[in-house]
Amino acid sequence: MASEEIVWSILTNQFCSFKLALPGNKSSTQKSTKQTFCRNEHNVTGLCNRQSCPLANNRYATIRSDPETQRLYLYIKTVERAHLPSKWWEKVRLSGNYTKALQQVDERLQYWPRFLTHKCKQRLTRLTQVRVRAQRLLKEGERLGETLVPRLAPKIRRREETRERKAEAAAKIERAIERELVERLRSGAYGDRPLNVEERVWEKVMRGLERSQEGVVDEDLGEDEEEGVEYEYEREGQEQEVEYVSDLEESDDEEGEDLEDFQDWLGGESGGDATGSEDDDDDEEVDADGDDAALKKKLDSLKRKRPVAPTKKPAKKPVKRAKANIEYEYEPVPEPREMLLAD
Amino acid sequence: MAGSSSLRIGNKIKRSEQHVKRKKEKESTKRDERLKRRRHEDKNPDLRAARQSRNVPATIDSKRTWDEVDPDEGEEGAALGRSVDILRAKRRRVEEPEAAEDVNGEEAQDKEPLDNEDDDLDSMLGSDSDSDAGTKPAPPVREPSEAPSIATDLALTPESLSTRFPALFDPPPDQQPKVLITTSLNSALHQEGQMLTTLFPHSTYIKRSAHAHAYKYSIREIAKYAHGREYTHLVILNQALHVKEPSGLDIVLLPGGPMFHFSISHFVAGKKLPGHGNPTNHYPELILNGFKTPLGLLTAHLFKSLFPPHPEIQGRQVVTLHNQRDYIFLRRHRYVFRDKRATEKQIQGTDGKPMKGVEEVRAGLQELGPRFTMKLRRVDRGVQRGSGQEWEWKGGDEKVRTRFSL
């Protein structure tokens, strides 16, 4: 008994490592939280009092929960073991049922001071409520399935921002869009008389396509007819796949289409909308630059006026190239044949 | 350069004067050379073409590295996690039955039909850096045009992919999408949600919770109810904590389909864009650029499924999803085909050469509606994280600057 007093006087007057005085407590104006707190895990009330201090009482009881199983245990400290600090606390497991647990506490601490039993029961109640609430939150989180996405580390955030900026600069989105749209227009994905183009512009495009087509026709006059049919057929088959291919890239082919859109627009008729001429056009455009220049020269000689800008280029190209290029024009023609055979 | 201490002029003023003088001289010689070169090349454009083909600037996109795939793996190589170029791989396999991803094989083929091949194709995809190094500089190596001569359904999607996601790769024909748009819990992005309804035809925005104390519906529940009401997609706009901006986009394919998580950056409403237009409710056309790997293909099909399959071209609206280095830029434009003005250049194909047949045409673009950047972070098999992930973004993947997942 005497030792209790001694211990308490030391703890209050000198030093207790578990005592916690909050910053606002010292002032005279603050009245509500004058109470100091006790950080000892076995303290039943959490306050620093003569009655509540587990170190200054040889007979003490508290309730604590097991972190893993969430079960509540009654810890009892008796006078008989006061000299064996390592064996102070006797652990009694309480029932999971709240009322039964209360009864157990009552029965175990039957002749104990009412303060301790009362505080133990209060603590039991509070811990049960905490446990119930935690379970409810867990279940809710489980149901919602949403967790706050942790923020990216600053280094990664910065890196991504920079990379995004560079990617945007490299992408040249508007140019790609323009190219793709004009590509679709040129390849006839919009049909014979498209609704999204003005008459004038559409005519220009048609003329441009015919010009390039005409060149081919002029060159392979006799031969193209038979081959032309097969070639067309071949191209039609190819075109479908072509769209498929080019859709998912930086659609760079002249046949590049949005794969599904194109297939839908064509409605399964293989390249039906794209007329034979346009198919040939596409083939034609497969040729290298030089071919086109030569063709344009040819057309020049053939007939009509041409828009200003392109005339410059073909005019510039020295005539000597024309002969060499003519040879190349024949080359694509046998190729598809081979491909057909290879089928 | 007076770098060494022995030649360094002690007097700072004199020293800096000398430096300026030296610099001017150097710049002037460079300029003279440049202008002389330009004059030469104006007379003879072949020189310019040759020089430019010699000095092709190296970009990250041209240096892109792909994961190695054994030829024996076959379809396994097209697993979602692998950064494999399926399109080119297929094309190659078609062209040269002997060598699957053999660069040499490709080179051999390239050399032969060198002059016939089309200009526009694949310069952006580029030939491998290997093949580029191997061939002569003068005529740029061009890959053969879309080769698939072997006509029979060259399904470019690997079988494994299309069987795993039948809803995306094999949708019922003429299925109109019906999109339900909502936000994350406790979000204030109602205006942004409404904006998205203009973006996706046949979509509705519904607030996530009626009020702060209302029952919080989980995503699984919402998906179930939406499926019951014949929605096809559920789009969730996530809000960043304490900032009234969209930070993420989750797209769920109903019912119980794969869930795609994107993070959003730089969300700009249409109204804030200078010179913007107002969208109409015509079905837009779709442009999907730059999706190359199996995962990219999957994402592309997802976006495709969000829009009605038959666009109304009289509306002249186009939604573009452009993938560059794993960042997907979403833009929305109204376009018009118009005459090229005298001051404008011709449209250039991907190889930098002007496109033929359309020399006089340009397309004008007016931006509509929201624009933002997305980055794919995660693909779940089912509806949420608990259902297992098909693919997840990991920071470690980005250590190699040239490797991209889409």
Domains of chain B: which residue ranges?
Answer: 2-54, 159-340+359-398
Spatial CB neighbours of B355, under 8 Å, sequence gap ≥ 6: A179, A182, A183, A186, A254, B120, B346, B347, B348, B349
Same domain, A127 and A63: yes
* Among A166, A253, A287, beta carbon nearest to B120: A253
Mean pLDDT of A286-295: 52
Same domain, A140 and A72: yes
Tell me which chain B residues have a C-beta less than 8 angstroms from the C-beta of A195.
313-314
| A322 in any annotated domain | no
Q: Do B314 and A310 touch (CB under 8 A)?
A: no
* Residue pair B254/B226 in contact by the 8 Å Cβ criterion: yes
| A297 in any annotated domain | no
Q: Is some CB atom of chain A closer than 8 A to the CB atom of B186?
A: no
A259: closest CA of chain B, how far (Å): 9
Tally of domains within chain A = 3
Cα–Cα distance between A219 and A233 in angstroms, integer?
20
* Residue pair A265/B132 in contact by the 8 Å Cβ criterion: no
**Confidence at residue B91, expressed as pLDDT on a 0 to 100 scale:** 57
Q: Do B184 and A146 touch (CB under 8 A)?
A: yes
Q: Do A164 and B266 touch (CB under 8 A)?
A: yes
Secondary structure of residue B252 in the 3-state scheme: strand
Q: Do B353 and A186 touch (CB under 8 A)?
A: no
Q: Is some CB atom of chain A closer than 8 A to the CB atom of B52?
A: no
Q: Do A238 and B314 touch (CB under 8 A)?
A: no
**Confidence at residue B197, expressed as pLDDT on a 0 to 100 scale:** 96
pLDDT surpassing 70 at residue B166: yes
Confidence band for B4, pLDDT divided at 50, 70 and 90 = low
* Among A177, A249, A285, beta carbon nearest to B320: A177
Confidence band for B145, pLDDT divided at 50, 70 and 90 = very low
Q: What percent of chain B has pLDDT over 70?
A: 79
CATH fold for the domain made of B159-340+359-398 = Rossmann fold (3.40.50)
B342: closest CA of chain A, how far (Å): 8
- B348 phi and psi angles, rounded to 5 deg: -105, 140
Confidence band for B358, pLDDT divided at 50, 70 and 90 = confident
Most confident of A302-306, B103-107, B311-315: B311-315
B69: closest CA of chain A, how far (Å): 20
Q: Is some CB atom of chain B closer than 8 A to the CB atom of A203?
A: no
> Comparing B307 with B82, which gets the higher pLDDT?
B307
Mean pLDDT of B381-400: 88
* Residue pair B270/B279 in contact by the 8 Å Cβ criterion: yes
Q: DSSP string covering B378-403, please?
A: EEESSSSGGG-EEEE--GGGGGSTTB
Mean pLDDT of A117-139: 95
Cα–Cα distance between A269 and A324 in angstroms, integer?
38
Cα–Cα distance between A38 and B159 in angstroms, integer?
67
Q: Do A205 and B349 touch (CB under 8 A)?
A: no
**Confidence at residue B24, expressed as pLDDT on a 0 to 100 scale:** 98
**Confidence at residue B94, expressed as pLDDT on a 0 to 100 scale:** 55
**Confidence at residue A35, expressed as pLDDT on a 0 to 100 scale:** 80
Cα–Cα distance between B44 and A136 in angstroms, integer?
80
| A107 in any annotated domain | yes
Tell me which chain B residues have a C-beta less than 8 angstroms from the C-beta of A205.
337, 357-358, 361
Tell me which chain A residues have a C-beta less than 8 angstroms from the C-beta of B288.
247-248, 258
**Confidence at residue A298, expressed as pLDDT on a 0 to 100 scale:** 56
Same domain, A104 and A139: yes
Confidence band for B78, pLDDT divided at 50, 70 and 90 = low
Same domain, A38 and A93: no
Mean pLDDT of A101-118: 95
Nearest CA in chain A to B377: A149
> Comparing A151 with A275, which gets the higher pLDDT?
A151
* Among B146, B286, B320, beta carbon nearest to A245: B146
What does the mean pLDDT of chain A come to?
A: 73
Instruction: Name the domain boundary from A209, A235, A252.
Output: A209
Cα–Cα distance between B175 and B13 in angstroms, integer?
77
Cis before A67 (ω within 30): no
Cα–Cα distance between A299 and A293 in angstroms, integer?
10
Q: How many CA atoms lie within 13 A of A195 on its CB side?
A: 8
Confidence band for B80, pLDDT divided at 50, 70 and 90 = confident
pLDDT surpassing 80 at residue A207: yes
Mean pLDDT of A227-253: 41
Q: Do B365 and A177 touch (CB under 8 A)?
A: yes
**Confidence at residue B35, expressed as pLDDT on a 0 to 100 scale:** 97
Q: Is some CB atom of chain A closer than 8 A to the CB atom of B171?
A: no
Cβ contacts from A onto B, under 8 A = 273
Question: What is the value of pTM for the model shown?
Answer: 0.69
Tell me which chain B residues have a C-beta less than 8 angstroms from the C-beta of A234.
149, 151
* Among A146, A196, A258, beta carbon nearest to B314: A196
Q: Is some CB atom of chain A closer than 8 A to the CB atom of B309?
A: yes
> Comparing B171 with B117, which gets the higher pLDDT?
B171
**Exposed, middle or buried: residue B315 (CB in 10 Å: 0-12, 13-18, 19+)?**
middle
Range in A50-54, B151-155, B197-201 with the lowest mean pLDDT = B151-155
Same domain, A62 and A134: yes
Mean pLDDT of A45-66: 94
pLDDT surpassing 90 at residue A131: yes
Secondary structure of residue A72 in the 3-state scheme: strand
Cα–Cα distance between B30 and B107 in angstroms, integer?
37
Nearest CA in chain A to B91: A245
B73: closest CA of chain A, how far (Å): 22
**Confidence at residue A95, expressed as pLDDT on a 0 to 100 scale:** 94
A126: closest CA of chain B, how far (Å): 25
Confidence band for A124, pLDDT divided at 50, 70 and 90 = very high
Tell me which chain B residues have a C-beta less than 8 angstroms from the C-beta of A294.
none
Q: Is some CB atom of chain B closer than 8 A to the CB atom of A80?
A: no
Q: Is some CB atom of chain B closer than 8 A to the CB atom of A169?
A: no
Q: Do A260 and B120 touch (CB under 8 A)?
A: no
Most confident of A194-203, B57-66, B89-98, B275-284: B275-284
Mean pLDDT of B275-296: 92
A238: closest CA of chain B, how far (Å): 6
pLDDT surpassing 80 at residue B223: yes
B324: closest CA of chain A, how far (Å): 6
* Residue pair A339/A235 in contact by the 8 Å Cβ criterion: no
ipTM above 0.90, yes or no: no
**Confidence at residue B33, expressed as pLDDT on a 0 to 100 scale:** 97
**Confidence at residue A294, expressed as pLDDT on a 0 to 100 scale:** 59
pLDDT surpassing 70 at residue A55: yes
**Confidence at residue A244, expressed as pLDDT on a 0 to 100 scale:** 41
* Among A174, A241, A285, beta carbon nearest to B146: A241
**Residue span of the structural domain in which A95 resides:** 58-144
Which residues, numbered 225 to 284 in chain B, qualify as contacts with chain A under a Cβ-Cβ cut-off of 8 Å? Answer: 238, 241, 248, 265-266
Range in A193-207, B15-29, B347-361, B374-388 with the lowest mean pLDDT = B347-361
* Residue pair B345/A313 in contact by the 8 Å Cβ criterion: no
Nearest CA in chain B to A162: B327
Spatial CB neighbours of B21, under 8 Å, sequence gap ≥ 6: none
Q: Do A166 and B375 touch (CB under 8 A)?
A: no
pLDDT surpassing 70 at residue A185: yes
Confidence band for A146, pLDDT divided at 50, 70 and 90 = confident
Q: How many residues does chain B have?
A: 406
Q: What percent of chain A has pLDDT over 70?
A: 59
Range in A217-221, B240-244, B301-305, B393-397 with the lowest mean pLDDT = A217-221
Cα–Cα distance between A237 and B265 in angstroms, integer?
41
Nearest CA in chain A to B284: A261
